[in-house]
Structure 1
Amino acid sequence: MKLNLKRPIIFFDLETTGVDTSKDRIVEISMAKIMPDGERIVKTRRLNPCMHIPEESTAVHGITDDDVKDCPTFAQVAKSLEQFIRGCDFGGFNSNRFDLPVLVEEFLRVGIDVDFKRRKFIDVQNIFHKKEQRTLVAAYKFYCDKDLDEAHSAEADTLATYEVLLAQLERYPDLDNDVDMLAEYSSRGETVDYAGRIVYNDKGEEVFGFGKYRGRSVCEVFRTEPSYYSWMMNGDFPLYTKKVITELRFREKNKS
């Protein structure tokens, strides 16, 4: 089987310095670009995160400071990476909640505002959890009947994720071989930013997804309590979240 694609899709996986999407950095990135004709282009490289890789993170992916000390930084590869992913949809395992937000933050730090708004995102983990409730290693064994011997190697995880999705399409007749449908099915809900701080309500309005104003309109809160916007901008929130609330704030100002 091959995916029914209208445009290329990139399956990707990141190994990072930690799990904080707003602070941690990429130390290894692997991308498998699947073309509509089935051609597969795989690119994997390690990056110098310009910060210490904590020992607990090294225990997961096996990458140390010495391993990446002579590697390029994200800033040095950002332009070529943006060209590689331009016009593509995306797929990953837990990518909607982790890998994608981390990647967006890395681009914003170096001043490259990649437009992901028109792209579709398939999170294979969400499909798996809705169907079977397992991990990637178990998913690979369950769907592909193979052992994932190099788990937490970015390239092994990337290629395994792609194989799992193909196997899921074979197994579940109700899953359409269509990127739009798969992206919708694998989403956990409509978020405005990737971190889930700002979400859409059932009326399509942007509301807070956290804190004391959870469920309340972002624009309404900023109108009645402008200091809340300042608090968020000065707080420890992802750069993309700050970008979103700034766009919402200016949108409201332009209406008046």
Structure 2
Amino acid sequence: MSWHLGRMAAFDTETTGIDRETDRIVTAAVILLGGDEPAETHTWLANPGIDIPAGATAIHGITTEHAREHGRPAVEVVAEVSTLLAKQIVNGVPLVVMNATYDLTLLDRELSRHQLPSLLEQANLREPDVIDPLVIDRGLDPYRPGKRRLTDLAAHYGVTLDDAHNAAADAIGAARVAWMQAARTPSLQLGTAAIHLRQEHWAREWAANYQQYLRSKGKSDAIVDGRWPMIPRQQDGGMR
């Protein structure tokens, strides 16, 4: 059975910034959907323990003051998010994550920061199968001009995206885009392991091509990391 006809766990975060190594989770959502079962929505608001920059607040609307007053301790949020995701991995449910190398790497560093077991450890060393609409889109149509943000992909694939930069809305939007990609493209209608491997190839290919492009424009030392769906910590091998 193709992955898009089964259960999926869509995951998204809104954060304090764009640095996956040092920034923190502010809101997170895991939406369980598909597979002819009722949808489940799980959302969290964290007190990240640091100030939320004005630029980040302008995107997702959460201020430092709001997070401090209404958010739960970051360690609790990170623990609950990872526990729920690990349960899905153990059950063979693929994770749908737009730009997975950002969200999954950020979550991994949060787990390390709070001295919690990694997602891999919590899933009994079972690697997750990940569906990343960004990687799929780059693989299907590498030369299409324009941006490839979630809002752009939603418009391109005819998907309604409500309340962009809300973690729950973005998670659902990513799942809808991924579903539409598979529904339109028979070559994507694979098992979860097979589609994961194909995306690994596409991620490496895109990174190599983009690195070559940057160097052709005079950035001779440009390095584009093609590892996906997560950038491993320096001391370990990480996810595939």
User: For the residues of structure 2 that align with 1:58 and 1:79, how far apart are their CA atoms?
Assistant: 24
Native 8 Å contact 2:12 2:168 kept in 1: yes
Q: What's the CA shift for 1:244?
A: 1.1
Q: Tell me what 1:225 maps to.
A: none
User: For the residues of structure 1 that align with 2:150 and 2:47, how far apart are their CA atoms?
Assistant: 26
Structure number with greater Rg is 1
Native 8 Å contact 2:159 2:176 kept in 1: no
Query: What are the residue-to-residue correspondences of 1:24-173 with 2, within 5 Å?
Result: 24-34=23-33, 36-70=35-69, 71-87=71-87, 88=89, 89-95=94-100, 97-116=101-120, 118-132=127-141, 133=144, 134-146=148-160, 148-173=161-186
User: For the residues of structure 2 that align with 1:41 and 1:149, how far apart are their CA atoms?
Assistant: 18
SS at match of 2:17: coil
Taking structure 2 as the reference length, what is the TM-score of the superposition?
0.72
User: For the residues of structure 2 that align with 1:182 and 1:64, how far apart are their CA atoms?
Assistant: 38
| Superposed CA offset, 1:31-64 (max 9, x none) | 1123755432111121111101111111221211
C-alpha change, 1:241 and 1:83, in structure 2 (3 Å) is closer
**Letter aligned with residue 180 of structure 1:** A
Identity of aligned residues (%): 25
Give the unaligned 5+ runs of structure 1.
191-195, 197-210, 215-237, 246-256
2:28 equivalent to 1:14: no
Native 8 Å contact 1:29 1:45 kept in 2: yes
Q: CA RMSD in A?
A: 2.9
Native 8 Å contact 1:91 1:121 kept in 2: yes
SS at match of 1:244: coil
User: For the residues of structure 1 that align with 2:119 and 2:48, how far apart are their CA atoms?
Assistant: 23
| Superposed CA offset, 1:95-146 (max 9, x none) | 1x20000001111111222243521122111111222443311221222343
Q: What's the CA shift for 1:2?
A: 7.7
Q: What's the CA shift for 1:243?
A: 3.1
**Letter aligned with residue 30 of structure 1:** A
User: For the residues of structure 1 that align with 2:166 and 2:82, how far apart are their CA atoms?
Assistant: 22
User: For the residues of structure 2 that align with 1:2 and 1:182, how far apart are their CA atoms?
Assistant: 8
C-alpha change, 1:50 and 1:239, in structure 2 (3 Å) is farther
Q: What's the CA shift for 1:240?
A: 5.0
User: For the residues of structure 2 that align with 1:2 and 1:159, how far apart are their CA atoms?
Assistant: 16
Give the unaligned 5+ runs of structure 2.
121-125, 208-220, 225-229
Moved over 4 A (4+): none
User: For the residues of structure 2 that align with 1:69 and 1:151, how far apart are their CA atoms?
Assistant: 23
SS at match of 2:80: helix
